[in-house]
Amino acid sequence: MASRPEPATGTANRRRIKLWLACLGLLAICAGSAVAAHYWSRWQHPANRFAVARQALKSGDLARVRKEIARLEDVPAYAPHRHYLQGALLLQQGEPADALRELEQALGNPALEIETLVLSGQALYQSGERLKAHTLWQRAVSLNPSCIDAYRWLGVYYYDSGAMELAVRYLSSVSKLDPKDSRSLRLMGLIYKDYEQYRPAVDCYRESLRRDGQPPDRASILLELAACEIALPDCQAALATLAQCADSPEKSGLQARAYYELGEQSQAEHFLAEALKLSPRDFAALLLRGKMRLGDRDAQGAIEALKQAAEINPQDDSVHLHLAQAYQWLGDAAQAAQHEQRSVALRALWSKVYDLHTKANQEPANADARYQLGMALRELGRDEMAEVWFRAALSIDPSHAEAIRALQPDK
């Protein structure tokens, strides 16, 4: 049986529907292309390219930075931005002089002024022009009192100059402005520790670890924190801190000190033996052994340990003080007097170091005080610390002749 033919009107309707759907599809394609073109145009806008480059700088993607610099090459209005990026790139590559030349061409742009001042200061600092760097960072802070990077660099500047109170002031500003920052607190903890201000040191170390529980130098921070806790003394807290550390001579030595302060002799002896087994010439462990032998009235045992400690660090006054006591118990008056005199002389020299520390702290621009401090530390056998202070003197006065001579290899 033949099929019945469809009405002509039905065929026409279907054709119209197909044509209508095809037109809708074409419109959708056109609309999608317009949207894509709009977003592509926005993505390619110089402001977005600059933002991408800045993010790449932060992440260390230098290849991407170079690519974005090239894309800004033909945009005259973004020439300062390009110079800024090029300067930042050169700075990361360890070329501060070339970086400075690029950054100088970005300084006229108000939107980049503060960041350019900070980076220019960094370039000057790395080139040895520290006073000029300081001036630029201060200018950045005056323009923006919340400029974290300028505060951070000012903290570093004063730390390197030995003006620790000012260093703490600026580092504290960093930690307040950036609730996630942990590095400034870690450095403040170290400063307080060096100045034997153990309570604020402990507070800084703990807050640093609270903000970043897994910093690269976590092991060092924990050991420094434990040493401060023992000095307070808060030895139970120190033992809890040390429980988080991997085994090491430093850990065992601090555990021995903590138990010694708590009066737990057997535990102190156990960890002291462990420390000396791992590091037989550990000065702090040998000094503690000498003190413990004196506590046991074992003068000969004390002398044996203390003499080894004195060989390692002959400029430590406490070693000679304890040796004087041990020799006195043995009835050797001549040796006792000799070590007592040496202890007194060293205490006087350390007192001079403390006074010069205070002077350097109170006088941020006093290069000579830093040079004298370096010389006193050199006399005490602290050559590495002495070099730090000679360089601090030169950071203030690059032509300080005595500091220059002191840093020469044959001196």
116-133 pLDDT tens trace? 999 999 999 999 888 899
**Statement: residue 34 has pLDDT above 50:** no
The first and second tokens of residue 323, run together, are 């040796």
Statement to judge: residues 58 and 134 lie in one domain: yes
Q: What are the tens digits of pLDDT across the range 390-407?
A: 988 988 888 999 999 999
Q: What are the tens digits of pLDDT across the range 67-94?
A: 999 999 989 999 999 999 999 999 999 9
Q: What are the tens digits of pLDDT across the range 314-354?
A: 999 999 999 999 999 999 999 999 999 999 999 999 999 99
Both ends of the chain: CA-CA distance in Å?
Answer: 120
273 is a domain residue: yes
pLDDT range class, residue 27, cuts 50, 70, 90: very low
Query: Which residues, other chains included, contact 370 with Cβ-Cβ below 8 Å and sequence gap of 6+?
Result: 161, 162, 360, 389, 390, 392, 393, 396, 403
Counted domains in the chain = 3
**CATH, residue 249:** 1.25.40.10
**Statement: residue 20 has pLDDT above 60:** no
Statement to judge: residues 115 and 188 lie in one domain: no
Mean pLDDT of the chain: 89
**Statement: residue 8 has pLDDT above 80:** no
Statement to judge: residues 141 and 201 lie in one domain: no
Statement to judge: residues 183 and 265 lie in one domain: yes
Neighbours of 356 (CB within 10 A): 22
Statement to judge: residues 106 and 186 lie in one domain: no
- SS3 state at 7: coil
**Statement: residue 135 has pLDDT above 60:** yes
Given CA atoms 61, 62, 67, 72 in this order, what sign does their dihedral have? positive
206 is a domain residue: yes
Q: Give the model's pLDDT for residue 398.
A: 87
Angle, CA 65 vertex, CA 59 and CA 68 arms, to 5°:
135
Q: What are the tens digits of pLDDT across the range 210-255?
A: 999 999 999 999 999 999 999 999 999 999 999 999 999 999 999 9
84 is a domain residue: yes
Query: Per-residue b/e over 375-401, b at no fewer than 16 CB within 10 Å?
Result: bbbbebebeebbebbbbbbbbbbeebe
Q: What are phi and psi of 177, to 5 degrees?
A: -75, -30
**Statement: residue 30 has pLDDT above 60:** no
Distances (CA, A) of 384 to 256, 266, 356, 378, 393: 28, 37, 17, 8, 15
360 is a domain residue: yes
Q: Give the model's pLDDT for residue 261.
A: 96
328 is a domain residue: no
The first and second tokens of residue 114, run together, are 């503060």
Domain end among 277, 292, 318: 277
Q: Give the model's pLDDT for residue 195.
A: 85
d(CA 140, CA 147): 7
Which has the higher per-residue pLDDT, 4 or 345? Answer: 345
Domain end among 123, 146, 169: 146
Statement to judge: residues 354 and 408 lie in one domain: yes
- Residue 394: give the domain boundaries: 346-411
Query: Which residues, other chains included, contact 352 with Cβ-Cβ below 8 Å and sequence gap of 6+?
Result: 376
> Of the candidates 171, 216, 173, 212, which has an alpha carbon nearest to the alpha carbon of residue 189?
171
Average pLDDT over every residue of 378-397: 89
Statement to judge: residues 141 and 51 lie in one domain: yes
pTM of the model: 0.80
169 is a domain residue: no
Average pLDDT over every residue of 182-207: 95
pLDDT range class, residue 31, cuts 50, 70, 90: very low
Statement to judge: residues 138 and 189 lie in one domain: no
Q: Give the model's pLDDT for residue 267.
A: 98
Whole-number percent of the chain with pLDDT over 70: 89
Statement to judge: residues 124 and 186 lie in one domain: no
pLDDT range class, residue 13, cuts 50, 70, 90: low
Statement to judge: residues 230 and 273 lie in one domain: yes
Q: Give the model's pLDDT for residue 163.
A: 86
Overall size of the chain counted in residues? 411
Angle, CA 384 vertex, CA 151 and CA 164 arms, to 5°:
30
Statement to judge: residues 132 and 206 lie in one domain: no
The amino acid that residue 117 corresponds to is: L
8 is a domain residue: no
154 is a domain residue: no
Domain end among 146, 168, 191: 146
